[in-house]
A and B are shown apart, each in its own frame.
Chain A
Amino acid sequence: DAKTTQPTSMDCAEGRAANLPCNHSTISGNEYVYWYRQIHSQGPQYIIHGLKNNETNEMASLIITEDRKSSTLILPHATLRDTAVYYCIVRVATNAGKSTFGDGTTLTVKP
């Protein structure tokens, strides 16, 4: 699985968009980008995934650059409950095995 690089921490004002970047410059053609988040003392929660097209669901949007070497998770209207550690993972979708987590980005949403 490709290695990812994320900033250690970010702050965001409540109600504003939170944009969380992830670099995955060694991504392979068949590897997807997955995002999870982990609220304090809970298990990670799946957010969204994508291959090369931008994706949107009820939780977030995922923007993947054309060369697929980086991506951005967007929380359009951050709330205090979005304060969490956000993990970007790159893996082959059909690979049933492990997900390799880095240390993620700690997002703090401030009132």
Chain B
Amino acid sequence: DTGVSQNPRHKITKRGQNVTFRCDPISEHNRLYWYRQTLGQGPEFLTYFQNEAQLEKSRLLSDRFSAERPKGSFSTLEIQRTEQGDSAMYLCASSSITTQYNEQFFGPGTRLTVL
């Protein structure tokens, strides 16, 4: 399968713990996005990378959240001192700079539950 992959698929943690999620984009895609989705809502944009550069961040990305894409390939999203309000599905998407219409392809998501 050459689609976007995310690990882990599910994460249960206790309030106050740190968690890290990984996203592996489609291999030739140089743009990578993180979204958050809560139950019954559409995905909300968090941040976007082009290669290793983080070019856009949402106000939703508080200082407890940090995302990296060190070599322009996979990306990690870390949440420090998790809160119950962080419980959500975290989605990763990728797209190619060579694609004229910039369709974004999404991974299966990581479902985070903060107890």
Q: How many residues of B contact A (CB 8 A)?
A: 29
Tell me the B46-69 residues at the A interface (CB within 8 Å).
48, 50, 55-56, 58
A44-B48 contact given A98-B56, A103-B42, CB 8 Å threshold? no
User: CB distance B106 to A44 under 8 Å?
Assistant: yes
User: CB distance B45 to A103 under 8 Å?
Assistant: no
User: CB distance B91 to A43 under 8 Å?
Assistant: yes
Q: Of all chain A residues, which has the CB nearest B42?
A: A101
Q: Of all chain B residues, which has the CB nearest A43?
A: B106
**8 Å CB contact of B48 from A32, A87, A96:** A96
Q: How far is the CA of A42 from the CA of B43 in the complex (A)?
A: 12
**8 Å CB contact of A49 from B103, B105, B108:** B103
With a 10 A CB-CB cut-off, give which of A43, A44, A96, A104 has the most chain B CB atoms: A43
B 90-101 binary contact with A (CB < 8 Å = 1; else 0) = 010101010011
Q: How far is the CA of A21 from the CA of B68 in the complex (A)?
A: 38
